[in-house]
């Protein structure tokens, strides 16, 4: 979010729209290239010794590198397409950001490793948090000295990613060399491979609101409207992140209580989590208002008021009911989440394309609200049917 603010303030919403489209395309390639290995490594590392954790990390990195090279070639072909149709800015951006595929895959895999060893909150910063923070500071410094262009932004971002990869590598490289992992590797990697292949499909469909929706909107509206929509989706993504963090804070309790069939303790955890989410609602609304204010979206007279109404209800629904997906993922019903997101993917894609084509940014935000509402409420009703507890619940359990 800070990175988007810097781009908007220094170069405007047009450049943010261009960067968002190409970055979303790059992240889609990264999503396919990492093939769910981050989440698979989280589950694998949680129950293994230090040596075997590093073995699993090295295996995932080697597997991700091969897929990343294919992704880079694909983005090169996309950049050539933009050059052929005369979109020089998109050509330069796609060409430069194609080099970010390898470090991005690395960081997501390492993020999964951090979650597996219990460092949940650090993992959020180890994926992309520090990269965006450092990039924003460097770009602001360059702007002070008169250097400001979207190409400079892209180059700075890619260099920062590679530098951060080097910093992360030192955390396990010496460990790897010490135990000579390759010589001791026993070839037992079926657990990670099978699990990552299943999760990969789920990740692609669940990334609709943060990645694929921006690509669809970018096909039908001008660059500045894409920039506005990027601001709106980042606010929704922030609520998703907050919800996942809240659930992660009691995730081990939920998993253990479900395993032991302790419905009373599950109900108590539900009450605790419900109050935490209730307190998060006003904080997220205030944070969204400040973000709109700082980005300048509130002062765009061309934006209809109904858009902010759609975004407000999307925030509230996502905070209150969005945790249902996290609940199901912590139980044996994680397959349900995959089926729901897969089933809704094609209708959402068609709806986004049609409504954005017909009604522009208003249609896109309306589909954002409808999509979040249908997905979260569906998973919530499934959760109510699978687990005999009241959630959300604000009544104290004795």
Answering whether pTM is above 0.85, one says no
pLDDT at 396 > cutoff 70: no
Q: Sign of the C-alpha dihedral, residues 262, 263, 268, 270?
A: positive
Question: Do residues 12 and 127 share a domain?
Answer: yes
pLDDT at 350 > cutoff 60: yes
* Residue that is last in its domain, among 201, 227, 254: 201
Look at residue 185 in the predicted model and tell me its pLDDT: 45
pLDDT at 127 > cutoff 50: yes
Question: Do residues 189 and 224 share a domain?
Answer: no
Query: Which of 49-53, 59-63, 177-181, 309-313 has the least mean pLDDT?
Result: 177-181
Angle, CA of 26, 31 and 32, to the nearest 5°? 100
Specify which of 42-46, 86-90, 171-175, 205-209 reaches the highest per-range mean pLDDT.
Answer: 86-90
Q: How far is CA 131 from the centre of its chain?
A: 14
Q: How many domains does the chain have?
A: 2
Average pLDDT over residues 201-230: 77
Question: Do residues 179 and 251 share a domain?
Answer: no
* Residue that is last in its domain, among 158, 183, 201: 201
Question: Do residues 36 and 125 share a domain?
Answer: yes
Question: Do residues 228 and 156 share a domain?
Answer: no
Question: Do residues 285 and 220 share a domain?
Answer: yes
Average pLDDT over residues 290-295: 84
Range of the domain at 197: 1-201
Question: Do residues 119 and 45 share a domain?
Answer: yes
Question: Do residues 185 and 235 share a domain?
Answer: no
Question: Do residues 111 and 25 share a domain?
Answer: yes
Average pLDDT over residues 59-81: 80
Question: Do residues 12 and 113 share a domain?
Answer: yes
Question: Do residues 389 and 370 share a domain?
Answer: yes
Look at residue 368 in the predicted model and tell me its pLDDT: 86
Look at residue 181 in the predicted model and tell me its pLDDT: 47
pLDDT at 33 > cutoff 50: yes
Question: Do residues 211 and 137 share a domain?
Answer: no
pLDDT at 352 > cutoff 80: yes
* Residue that is last in its domain, among 174, 201, 228: 201
């Amino acid at each position: 979010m800070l990175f988007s603010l810097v781009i908007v303030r220094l170069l405007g919403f047009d450049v943010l729209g261009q960067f968002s489209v190409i970055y979303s395309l790059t992240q889609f390639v990264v999503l396919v290239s990492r093939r769910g290995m981050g989440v698979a490594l989280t589950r694998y590392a949680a129950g293994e010794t230090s040596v075997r954790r590093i073995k699993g990390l090295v295996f995932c990195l080697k597997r991700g590198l091969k897929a990343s090279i294919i992704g880079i070639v694909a983005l090169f072909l996309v950049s050539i397409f933009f050059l052929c149709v005369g979109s020089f800015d998109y050509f330069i951006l796609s060409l430069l950001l194609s080099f970010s595929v390898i470090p991005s895959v690395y960081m997501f895999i390492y993020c999964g490793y951090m979650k597996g060893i219990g460092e949940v909150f650090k993992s959020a910063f180890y994926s992309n948090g520090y990269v965006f923070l450092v990039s924003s500071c460097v770009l602001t410094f360059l702007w002070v000295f008169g250097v400001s262009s979207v190409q400079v932004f892209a180059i700075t971002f890619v260099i920062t990613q590679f530098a951060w990869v080097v910093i992360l590598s030192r955390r396990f490289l010496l460990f790897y060399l010490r135990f000579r992992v390759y010589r001791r590797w026993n070839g037992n990697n079926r657990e990670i491979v099978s699990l990552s292949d299943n999760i990969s499909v789920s990740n692609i469909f669940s990334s609709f609101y943060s990645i694929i929706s921006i690509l669809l909107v970018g096909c039908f509206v001008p660059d500045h409207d894409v920039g506005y929509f990027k601001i709106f989706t980042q606010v929704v993504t922030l609520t998703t992140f907050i919800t996942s963090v809240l659930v992660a804070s009691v995730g081990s309790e939920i998993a253990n209580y479900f395993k032991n069939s302790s419905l009373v303790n599950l109900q108590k955890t539900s009450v605790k989590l419900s109050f935490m989410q209730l307190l998060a609602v006003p904080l997220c609304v205030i944070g969204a208002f400040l973000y709109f204010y700082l980005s300048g979206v509130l002062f765009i007279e061309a934006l209809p008021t109904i858009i902010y109404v759609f975004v407000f209800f999307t925030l509230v629904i996502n905070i209150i009911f969005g945790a249902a997906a996290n609940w199901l993922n912590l139980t044996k019903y994680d397959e349900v989440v995959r089926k729901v997101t897969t089933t809704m993917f094609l209708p959402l894609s068609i709806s986004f394309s049609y409504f954005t084509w017909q009604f522009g940014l208003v249609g896109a935000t309306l589909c954002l609200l409808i999509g979040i509402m249908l997905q979260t409420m569906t998973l919530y009703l499934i959760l109510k049917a699978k687990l005999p507890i009241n959630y959300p619940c604000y009544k104290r359990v004795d």
